[in-house]
Amino acid sequence: MLTPAARLAARRLLGLASSASEAAARRLAPSPIAASSYAAAARGSVPSSRPFSTALNYHIDSPENKPDMKWEFTAANMKKVKEILSHYPSNYKQSGIIPLLDLAQQQHGGWVPVAAMDAIAKVVEVAPIRVYEVATFYTMFNRTKVGKYHLLVCGTTPCMIRGSREIEDTLLEHLGVKRNEVTSDGLFSVGEMECMGCCVNAPMIAVADYSKGSEGYTYNYYEDLTPKRVIEIVEKLRRGETPPRGTQHPERKNCGPAGGNTTLHGEPKPPPCRDLDAC
């Protein structure tokens, strides 16, 4: 006969086993969203848009994005591939997956097809799933087509307070697209990006310029924006011009205040503890 302590331990073990079984059943059961998406894919009628979270998690073949497509780095970029891999020990080639994905995205016009991921897997000598894991984790990698100029609006709190939603609405209305759609001429797409790290110059956008391929790729910030100014920037890009990057405020220099500094006009005096002769 079991002691009271033994009976209590047995009941707890049974409870843990039951909870584990229920959790496993929940994991194996497909979600309604995933089930409907898979069913649509099986029928060959994939919806044109799907929830953003699930779009990040799985791949559906399309005429321009399928594994059996031929994809390889250009001769010029293969030199860059070798240079990137030279930074890592030969038995840690997989450490180069992120910079290689970035290079592939630049070469492929701003997005990374699954065939490019497979090519990278061969270069770094890992299973393709190891590259898929990275590409689907980081939102900096676009897995669907974007415009030659991919406009990313900062959506974090300081920019929102300073009017980033108005900036985004202005862009979408001016270009006639929804978020993450590409204009009919293939030039522009608009997305959202979290904190760009320049809150003092909010609101702001980043422009990833894929119009000149990987050789001419640029990624620039445009800060202190107004709805009028962001349209002017778009139209300059459309004409092939290069708008001045950084703050768009006429009276500011970089992150300094409008009209110039009001303090710190000279070199600040160091604290005594930094004066080694005084110690």
Which CATH number does the domain housing residue 119 bear? 1.10.10
pLDDT of the residue at 48: 43
pLDDT of the residue at 230: 96
Beta-bridge partner residues of 153: 192, 205
Q: Are residues 114 and 179 in the same domain?
A: no
Q: Are residues 241 and 153 in the same domain?
A: yes
Q: Is the pTM of this model over 0.85?
A: no
pLDDT of the residue at 173: 96
C-alpha to C-alpha distances, 43 to 36, 39, 51, 144, 263, nearest whole angstrom: 11, 6, 19, 22, 68
pLDDT of the residue at 271: 73
Q: Which of 137, 161, 191 is the last residue of a domain?
A: 137
* Residue 117 in domain: yes
pLDDT of the residue at 262: 82
Q: Are residues 164 and 212 in the same domain?
A: yes
pLDDT digits (tens, 9 = 90+) for 53-89: 344 556 788 888 888 899 999 999 999 999 999 999 9
Q: Are residues 95 and 153 in the same domain?
A: no
* Residue 124 in domain: yes
Q: Note down the domain range covering 171.
A: 149-247
* Residue 29 in domain: no
* Residue 218 in domain: yes
pLDDT of the residue at 245: 93
Question: Which DSSP category does 205 fall into?
Answer: E
pLDDT of the residue at 3: 66
* Residue 82 in domain: yes
Q: Are residues 157 and 197 in the same domain?
A: yes
User: With contact defined as beta carbons under 8 Å apart, do 191 and 144 qualify?
Assistant: no
Question: Residues of the chain whose pLDDT is less than 50?
Answer: 27, 30-55
> Which CATH number characterizes residue 189's domain?
3.40.30.10
* Residue 268 in domain: no
pLDDT of the residue at 50: 42
* Residue 91 in domain: yes
Number of domains in the chain: 2
* Residue 12 in domain: no
Q: Are residues 241 and 155 in the same domain?
A: yes
